[in-house]
Amino acid sequence: MDTRFLPLRRVLTGEPADEDQLAGQLAFVQARLDCADFRVANLLAALLLDDTGRGRLSEDQREQIVTTVLGFRYWLDEPGVDGMCLFSENHQILFASCDYLAGQLHPARVFSNDGRSGAEHRDRAAIRVRQWLGRRWQHGFSEWLSNTYYEEHIAAVALLAGFAADDDIRAQATGVLDLLLLDLALHSWTDGQDRWFIPSSGRCYAPGKQAPGGSAVADIMRWAFGPGEVQDQEWATLSAILFASGYEVPEQIRAIAHDRDGATIDQAMGLELAEAAALREPAPLGEVETRGTLWWAMEAFTTPESIVDTMRAFRAWRMKDNPFLTNLTPFAKLPEALLPGLIRILNPATQGVALERARVRTRRTPHWLLSSAQRYRPGGYGDQQHLWTALLPRGVTVFATHPGGAMFDDVARNFSPGEWVGNGINPDVVQHGRVLIAFHHLGVRSGYLEPKRRLESHLWWPRTDFDETQQGQRWVAGRIGSAYIGVRSWAPLEFVSRNEIRQPGKVTVWVVLMGDAETYADLAEFAAEVAAIPVVAGDLPDNRHLMVWADGHRHDLTFGGAHLIDGEPVILSEDRYASRFVTAERGPERIDVGGHVLTAAGREQQ
């Protein structure tokens, strides 16, 4: 099966589509394989371009696509058993956008999967669309700053911004699309030759962490901000939906991306589990759907706070055969009142999948970028969360993780956490100026489904990508161009391979110091400062207290507890945005980006 996307450039120019390529897309959708919604979005973009006169399809191609689109399964309450994931944050908006636009195109046609008319599909999907967009405005993105899933978010929202007939939906989608591009502008970094986006992230895979130049959002940034040209010349990716939508990047957002002066960006997104449990929202499609989509966009399936709502949705939507959730089947017969307590007793490792509130700090300079999700659930289970990264010229990254292991033995769910994806157990991460501290403490309670815990953490250090490096028993330093990075450990290091440095032990610490050639005469001077950083773990039982002196400041960090800098408690910002580019409180009424003003309804008229 040819699984390539239909090239939208050909549709726009009227060139005939490759028949094998189109057949592969149609077969993928008809089989309802996971990520079929990506293909439906691509096919709908082709139909909408044709429908609005901006593109051309042959009559035969159009009818094949329409028949397939009208037979698709668009939501969890529709008939059908398949292996699709419909419920994560990115899939929710992709399915809802496609459902809405398919119904808009064919309001009088019957959708063969459930027998509803296109108008019924459009109207029900509009409720889901508005709810999803409203939540993103209010709370931010659960899959925060993901260089994988922001492509899916952007494609789905661009479909609405470019093609929704409803003025309010189109305006609301355009505003959320601005927020997504704002995130890319704020947290990306360029050396003038290329641009990379690898800040802390809610969901990130190994390739996107280790080689961010090939990430899913790379072409989106080239198209939106430069430098460089879009590499997908045929527009045969999800990103191309944005390119073809007619969306224009606001100049104020483009200016942020082009700004190369130093900046610190604080941005808090998402909900704590307790906040989500207490949240009450309108439920036009029923409480099961409203609560289920809230929790499942956060990937919070098996936490004490979410388990009752999860099982109600699991039963209502007949999910026992879905490969992603089939292991919940035994819980379906238990009394609801027992479920939260049972989760607390079992302490399942699957709790780590949940995407909770992230308080991100990104420091960017002309030489480097340093980013982290500070104090993110230290000692809790992890999954795909990328908690910190240092980004250097040529797209070289440095980060550390506690290597995890698969909780299941099936292909759909066995890839995270892993060697370099997420953390088995989350560290406590703090960041101040050009210093970052990642404090790993593995002496926390074990739980159900957790594989054998490895007593170590390791550092991704691609040695051969540096112009020069130096190292010692408890430190390593490197230079790329004018950028310097040094890492100081608590325990002695094991230099395992050209990419990996291991720090064994139940307690491990990585202290990161960034620098540049404007401040230091050479790498040797910088490395001497790194090697001399005092790192002391002790005082409290089981080494839960850490003292670090770096860059002229003393850090006292209690694992999961207080963080003091020079004796003063650190209180993390809860603002949606806090930077010299944009400021906005939590749950904002307005977001002013240098005069480009957004509200929940979209762009404010100037």
Give per-residue pLDDT as tens, 235-258: 999 999 999 999 999 999 999 999
Mean pLDDT calculated for residue range 581-586: 98
Give per-residue pLDDT as tens, 120-147: 999 999 999 999 999 999 999 999 999 9
What does the mean pLDDT of the chain come to?
96
Banded model confidence at residue 4, pLDDT cuts 50, 70, 90: confident
Give per-residue pLDDT as tens, 338-373: 999 999 999 999 999 999 999 999 999 999 999 999
- Other beta carbons within 10 angstroms of residue 199's beta carbon come to 32
| pLDDT for residue 543 | 84
| pLDDT for residue 56 | 86
In whole angstroms, give the CA distance from residue 80 to residue 73: 7
- Of 269-278, 318-327, 423-432, 463-472, the range with the lowest mean pLDDT is 318-327
Spans of all domains in the chain: 8-259, 273-352, 359-567
In whole angstroms, give the CA distance from residue 161 to residue 206: 31
In whole angstroms, give the CA distance from residue 597 to residue 591: 6
Q: Which of 373, 155, 113 is nearest to 244 (CA)?
A: 155
Model confidence, pTM = 0.97
Strand order in the sheet with 435-441: 428-432, 435-441, 507-516, 483-489, 475-480, 468-472
| pLDDT for residue 413 | 58
Give per-residue pLDDT as tens, 408-456: 776 655 568 999 999 999 999 999 999 999 999 999 999 999 999 999 9
| pLDDT for residue 411 | 61
- The residues with which 547 forms a beta bridge, in sequence order, are 536, 556
Q: Is 464 exposed, middle or buried (0-12, 13-18, 19+ CB in 10 A)?
A: exposed
In whole angstroms, give the CA distance from residue 589 to residue 576: 11
| pLDDT for residue 159 | 99
For residues 389 and 199, the answer to whether their CB atoms sit within 8 Å is: yes
